[in-house]
Structure 1
């Protein structure tokens, strides 16, 4: 079984020496899943197990474990190769919609120019016909200008260059789309902005638990979950997935309050300070497009040009002129409805998508407001909730497994470890003899 990429990233972020609780907190994974994943990764990447006298286990990984795994697994190499190929294929798919739009407009106006030139030649003399033919060609190029590849320039929209340079100060620079990419974004958007929502949810929940040293009340977790309204007594059913994922245990107070204890998340490979965590899980609103407004205006304008040009062409094709002229005009006539339909769909799809996004964002905002209200209620905790949280703190603890606590590690031979720990073993025996009175 190939190592889990999420676990690999968590190990790197945590400095290559981790416990199961560390990884489960960092990646928001189920405890059992994290433990199995760490065992698999340690086996495949040459990691080491460090066992404390308490029986807790720390995993130590070499910093080049990705290189070790990459060289070991051909499947991973093939996957990386396919991801690169798919990246190219998907890019070609993205730019194809803009390319088709430009080709559609080009075919429409070239056909219009040919038909107008032919009509003028039937009514004027040869010289006049030549003059009008030249004027028709100029009219065609008036629409597009001589700098055709201006559309393919990623930095053509100069009004947004300042925004592009300002974004370089952010942790990850956001590249300005070129026009063909912007067309795809105009049509279909840029994907789900909350694709990582579950990962963020479990990371935040685990961090809250870890910040409270492994013991919490349900109300402290509620701002990160979807809680359906219930009638009657307020049960903590929504905590069941959290207990299952992080091996939590319910604890009942003398007055009947239930709090939750997570022993696995109390163990860490090194002492860690409280980590920042948002007050509640906030979904990001869906955006119509990440493209600049100038690019969107240009895309919609070209869609309108395609429709208007197709309608003009349709009126000129009446009377069987396509059969007389043949060639390109006959070809355009054969795909006329495709050209017109593409133009209509090009503007209809974004319009429908715009109203659908408004509907989705209203639901996103409603869910955010519910979680926000849970966070406000927690911040303004009443005396009963304060007592509940205080009772949970009785189970709070943090167990740091340092190198001095190790009883065994696979990094060195067992005999060498016994020799190194002989003084520690002798001291332990003396303590036990003294306690027994011998």
Structure 2
């Protein structure tokens, strides 16, 4: 079984000595999944089990356990190799859209120039139209393409150079223009792709920060739906093996024994007052890159329409052949790309507006529930006081251990026997002194 990357990450964050509750809380995983994953990792990576006298279990991993796993599982080696390859492939995919845009413009410019020159040299009646294409237009467009400032857009450090020239800018975008074209077309991914993982990791940390006992109002700022019956706590109880408890006043609190056990004493983690979803961004390209992308998209579409009007006579492509024939064969693709280049961002813009409105509504609702908790009423304060009766923090130190797989069982039995004899000796001495 391939190791769970969330569990592996949690072990490293917790300094290689963990309990099931700690991993479950920091990774937002179900208790059972965290326990099974830790047992599998301990077996595969040479980890050790430390059992306290209370029956609580601590998992101790060697600091090179990732190297052990990497040597044992070809899937991990494959994932690491594929991750490196995918970065290169994805970069090529990103820049390919900008390359196709520029290539289509150049192809259409060359085809239009060839057609216009052929028409002009043939002495047809539409010399004026041919002159307009072969004269002013052809003089302007080459100057536009070969200008020295234009090609700086393709360098990865273009923006840093631009910031040196314009120190007043606050734009920290590091994309070159070819990457910006992809970002303009398709955006930069879902900013809330790991929302559920973040949600339950935050809830787990909130429970641990309150020593394993909370009221529903403390969890409400991190969930989407709440109700008077507190049914939204059921998934939290199921995930972290929690239990409800009813106060004498009939109020319900929730405590989580397994999240109260820690391998080391740790500081409480700072958490946001509520779970805040990130708004979707249309693009991370800067304003200059966006304007250039729109301008080139417009030029591309205009050139496609001009080329289409010149190719209305099928004999032109046949007579000229070569580049003109090739462009004529892919003309439908060029037109489709030109339309899609402007249509896709436009559709995505309105879709993002609707999406962000829903996200803002959910954020505002969670923020209002966080304000209720901060301005606690008298009844809520009573619930919080009752929850503190169940709050505790159990830290399993080496002195609390009854057994560990690091040492031989016989040696541990002898050590435990010596420990018991020492305890009895202390008791006898204290009784004799009394």
Q: Determine if the TM-score, normalized by the shorter chain, exceeds 0.5.
A: yes
Aligned partner of 1:221 in structure 2 is 219
- 5 Å-filtered alignment, 1:422-437, equals 422-429=417-424
- 1:194 matched to 2:208: no
Alignment of 1:145-224 (within 5 A): 145=146, 150-157=152-159, 161=163, 176-224=174-222
Is 1:389 the counterpart of 2:384? The answer is yes
Could you say what secondary structure the match of 1:306 adopts? Answer: helix
CA distance, structure 2, for counterparts of residue 350 and residue 133 of structure 1: 33
Q: Does 1:269 align with 2:288?
A: no
Q: Trace 1:1-400 onto structure 2 (pairs within 5 A).
A: 1-123=1-123, 138-145=139-146, 150-157=152-159, 161=163, 176-228=174-226, 230=227, 234-319=228-313, 320-400=315-395
- 158-167 or 215-224, which deviates more: 158-167
Query: For 1:314-350, what per-residue CA distance to the aligned partner results, in whole angstroms no more than 9, with x for missing partners?
Result: 2222334222222211221222222122111100100
Question: Which whole-Å CA distance do the structure 2 matches of 1:428 and 1:51 have between them?
Answer: 20
Do the aligned partners of residues 294 and 158 (structure 1) sit closer, same or farther apart at CA in structure 2, a change above 3 Å counting? farther
SS in 1 for 2:158: coil
Total equivalences in the alignment: 423
Bigger mean CA offset, 25-34 vs 83-92 = 83-92
* Pair 1:140–1:164, CA change in 2 (3 A): closer
Is the alpha carbon distance of 1:256 and 1:163 closer, same or farther for their aligned partners in structure 2, counting shifts above 3 Å? farther
Structure 1 portions without partners, runs of 5+:
168-173
SS of structure 2 residue aligned to 1:407: strand
More off after superposition, 155-164 vs 187-196: 155-164
Measure, in 2, the Cα distance between the counterparts of 1:336 and 1:73. 50
- Counterpart Cα distance in 2 of 1:45 and 1:162: 50
Deviations 1:248-285 (A, max 9, x none): 00001111111001000111011122210110000000
Cα distance change on mapping 1:275 and 1:342 into 2, 3 Å: same
User: For the residues of structure 2 that align with 1:406 and 1:89, how far apart are their CA atoms?
Assistant: 51
Structure 1 202/164 Cα, relative in aligned 2: closer, same or farther at 3 Å? farther
| Cα shift readout 1:3-57 (whole Å, capped 9, x = no counterpart) | 1111011010111111111111211111111111111111111111111111111
> Which position in structure 1 is the counterpart of 2:127?
none
Cα 1:288/1:407, change in 2 over 3 Å: same
Q: Summarize deviations over 1:153-204 as a string: whole Å, max 9, x none.
A: 112346754699999xxxxxx8711211111111000100001211211111
Alignment partners' CA distance in 2, 1:110 and 1:351: 29
What's the C-alpha RMSD, in Å, of the aligned pairs? 2.9
| Distance 1:158-1:121 versus aligned 2 partners, 3 A rule | farther
State the secondary structure of the residue aligned to 2:59: strand
More displaced, 420-429 or 195-204?
A: 420-429
